[in-house]
Chain A
Amino acid sequence: MGVAAAATLDYDAELMLRVKQGDGTSFGVLLEKHRASVTHFVYRLVQEQAVAEELAQEVFLRVYRSRASYEPTAKFKTWLFRIATHLALNWIRDERHERGTERLDDVPADVPARQVSDRRPSVEDQLVYQVKLAEIRKAVAALPDKQRAAVLMHKYEEMEYAQIAKVLGCSESAVKSLLFRAYESLRARLAHMGRT
């Protein structure tokens, strides 16, 4: 497929085709555009900052290394998140197997301090936020791998069912089912937050 044909697919795919032709600047543009979303997505999956950055780098490294064989058969973002999901879920599986416990349930040390724009947060606010955040993280970490990935793509990446299905390699109806069960679990674990 040529550059002109790919442009009808999406702009990112066109950039990737330029990378394929040896244009390093286009790779920089793609990195700039997707760096944060890929790293954040992986972070929410693995819940460890250093690991998330390492895996996100691996994602872009793989994109760069496979530039020669790249064919824009799907949206670039779908391809990118497919690699990211694959790497993150593999890491989770290996980590779980290695440690024999659900490490993601632990509250990690890299929880960011809350940035409140209009006023300086009090110590109490910070504490309340940390408790709430720990609960959210735990609820998300408790989801089965595919449900977790589906929720994160749906909620934070605003991806459509069809796109999530392509990333996860399943049907659209399977994605709907995954999301239904995932949100059902999250409602059961987090709905009390609305009453406090």
Chain B
Amino acid sequence: MNCPIETRHTEMLVSYTAGELDQETALMLERHFAVCPACRSTATEQSVVWKALDAWEIPPVSLDFDRRLYNRIDSGARPTWWERLTLSFRPMPLRQSVPLAATAGLLLMAGLLLHQPGPVVSFTAPPSHIVRADQVETTLDDLDLLRQFGPPNSAESVHPDAM
């Protein structure tokens, strides 16, 4: 038999102590113990642990366990007027509210990025149609200059007789 410790099958030693092994495997293991002090020692120690855990006695369940449980079931089945009233105002569980809040946040950010607001209208700014007189003169001078050096007027260029 392969050594359970060497082959990392120590659960076999636990199963042996727990009496979970079939008779044939248990006998093979006992024959192995005769030649393997490590396994023998582990099995002995495991047996001590097993017996120690067996000795762990616990207090009996209270006699009114069922009565208290059924009271809780009954009280849960009939919500009080206050519970009914506050049910709709109760905060959502964190597990549900976090993804919803994250989604809402993303939608809000996307909305802000997509929405590009126009120029802010300022009622104190001077109206754009107010121009100064020197600006008008300069513009008229520029137009005269363009007329002198610019291309022929549109009437000449499109007249078929000129071609």
Chain A 146-164 residues near chain B, CB threshold 8 A = 154-156
Q: Is the CB of B59 within 8 A of A61?
A: no
CA distance A49 to B60 in the complex (A): 9
- Beta-carbon contact of A191 and B66 below 8 Å: no
Taking CB atoms, residues of chain A closer than 8 Å to B134 are none
Of B56, B61, B65, the contact of A136 (CB 8 Å cutoff)? B56
Q: Which residues of B contact A39 (CB under 8 A)?
A: 61, 65
Asked if A112 and B49 sit within 8 Å, CB to CB, the answer is: no
The segment from B38-46, B93-101, B105-113 found at the interface with A is B38-46
Inter-chain contacts of A35 with B (CB < 8 A)? 61, 65-66
CB distance from A20 to the nearest CB of B (A): 15
Inter-chain contact A190/B48, CB cutoff 8 Å: yes
Q: Is B125 engaged at the interface, CB distance under 8 Å to the other chain? A: no
| A110: Cβ under 8 A from any B Cβ | yes
* B58 is an interface residue with CB less than 8 A from chain A: yes
The residue that A191 contacts in the complex, of B18, B49, B61, B65, with Cβ under 8 A, is B49
Chain B residues with Cβ below 8 Å from A64 are 73
Other-chain residue from A40, A129, A132 in contact with B58 (beta carbon distance below 8 A): A40
Chain A interface residue number, banded: 35 or more
Within 8 A of B (CB), among A39-66: 39-40, 43-44, 49, 53, 56-57, 60-61, 64-65
Are A183 and B55 in contact, with the CB atoms below 8 A? no
Return A178 CB to nearest CB of chain B, in Å: 11
Known: A61-B76, A112-B57, A114-B57. A190 touches B49 (CB 8 A): yes
Given that A31-B69, A176-B11, A186-B49 are contacting pairs, would A194 and B56 also be in contact in the complex, using a CB cutoff of 8 Å?
Answer: no
Would you give the shortest CB distance from B73 to chain A, in whole angstroms? 6
A61–B61 CB distance below 8 A: no
Q: Report A58 CB to chain B, min CB distance, Å.
A: 9
Q: Decide: B55 and A133 in contact? CB cutoff 8 A.
A: yes
| A133–B52 alpha-carbon span in the complex (Å) | 8
Q: Which of A110, A136, A176, A191 contacts B55 (CB 8 A)?
A: A136
A88 at the interface (CB under 8 A from B): no
Please indicate the chain A residues that have their CB under 8 angstroms from the CB of B53 in the complex: 136, 140, 155-156, 186
Tell me if A68 is interfacial: C-beta within 8 Å of chain B: no
A115 on the B face (CB < 8 A): yes
How far does the Cβ of A195 sit from chain B's closest Cβ, in whole Å? 8
Q: Is A193 interfacial (CB-CB < 8 Å)?
A: yes
B53 to chain A, nearest CB (A): 5
Contact status B58-A61, CB under 8 Å: no
- Among A44, A53, A65, the residue within 8 A (CB) of B61 is A53
**Would you list 19 pairs from A and B whose C-beta atoms are within 8 A, ordered by A residue?**
A35-B66, A36-B61, A43-B58, A60-B69, A61-B72, A112-B59, A133-B57, A136-B52, A154-B18, A155-B18, A155-B50, A155-B53, A156-B53, A179-B14, A186-B52, A187-B45, A187-B49, A191-B48, A193-B52
Q: Which residues of B contact A (CB under 8 A)?
A: 10-11, 14, 18, 42, 44-53, 55-59, 61-62, 65-66, 68-69, 72-73, 76
Interface on A for B, CB 8 Å cutoff?
31, 35-36, 39-40, 43-44, 49, 53, 56-57, 60-61, 64-65, 110, 112, 114-115, 129, 132-133, 136-137, 140, 154-156, 176, 179-180, 183, 186-187, 190-191, 193-194
Known: A132-B52, A136-B53, A194-B45. 4 other contacts (CB 8 A): A40-B58, A53-B62, A176-B11, A194-B44
